[in-house]
Amino acid sequence: MSSVDLEDLVDLCLQARAESGVGRQLCSDDRDRLREHLSVLAAAPDGLTLVATCDGEPAGLVLGRLLGPGLMSDTVVLSLDAVYVRPQQRRRGLGHAMLQAVAELAETTGVTDVYAAPLPGSRGMQRFLARLGFAPAAAHRVVSTGALLRRLALDVPAPARRGGTRGLEDLIERRRRARARALDEEMLARQATASMSMQVRRAVHNRRPSSSSTTTS
């Protein structure tokens, strides 16, 4: 790959990064680091880098890797990490031409399946891939390592971390007993209040003077 082609790839990747909104999940925003990553991909025997041009200007890219055979599978697949066409160059057949080149490469290298990961939010590319026969294969979710560790620490109760399932069961039982004690104490307090109120009414009634009493001098 020439240095001009490499710089074109860097520019296209940065534009795709800005459009997709997924930030670092797509690629680095540092040109030097991105240039290094793309150089490694282009030089790797299993790497795939394609640049499409329109009117002599770089307009689209495909980045991918050949995967397999591996420990769990004896097949070879082509995984497309990025398929992107600049907005102003869309609907001109560039995506179709790039996927044509990908399909021919897959056929000549014995690839059994082609996987594609359209950029999040790119509904046009998703519809384009679906029209070419790409079907959902798996659903991926992502979380940073730091966030995962924090959520795990907050999600599991402390007794469960110390004692496993037994600790969690003990915690539930202690909470159940605490709620039962609270209900008993509330009922006793209500009974005590009712009894005291009744005693006060009786005392007031006993101290009330009789209407038939008289005084003498």
What average pLDDT does range 91-108 have in this prediction?
92
- The better pLDDT of the pair 162, 70 is held by 70
Same domain, 41 and 12: yes
Structural domain includes residue 215: no
H/E stretch holding 115 reads strand 113-116
Say if residue 161's pLDDT is above 60. Answer: no
Structural domain includes residue 70: yes
Say if residue 179's pLDDT is above 50. Answer: yes
> In Å, what is the CA distance from 35 to each residue of 32, 64, 125, 134?
5, 16, 25, 30
Same domain, 95 and 177: no
What is the distance between the alpha carbons of residues 33 and 28, in angstroms, rounded to a whole number?
7
Q: What are phi and psi of 52, to 5 degrees?
A: -100, 145
Using 50, 70 and 90 to split pLDDT, how confident is the model at 44? very high
CATH code of the domain containing 94: 3.40.630.30
Same domain, 100 and 155: no
Say if residue 74's pLDDT is above 50. Answer: yes
Predicted pLDDT of residue 103: 93
Say if residue 147's pLDDT is above 80. Answer: yes
Structural domain includes residue 212: no
- Answer yes or no: pTM beyond 0.85: no
Considering its fold, how many domains does the chain have in total?
Answer: 2
> In Å, what is the CA distance from 208 to each residue of 32, 99, 180?
99, 103, 43
Lowest mean pLDDT among 3-7, 59-63, 201-205: 201-205
What average pLDDT does range 133-154 have in this prediction?
79
- The better pLDDT of the pair 111, 119 is held by 111
Question: Last residue of some domain: 113, 140, 167?
Answer: 140
Predicted pLDDT of residue 153: 80
Q: Which domain holds residue 22?
A: 3-140
Predicted pLDDT of residue 121: 67
Same domain, 102 and 186: no
What average pLDDT does range 120-130 have in this prediction?
82
Same domain, 162 and 196: yes
> In Å, what is the CA distance from 178 to each residue of 12, 159, 182, 184?
62, 16, 6, 10
Same domain, 26 and 94: yes
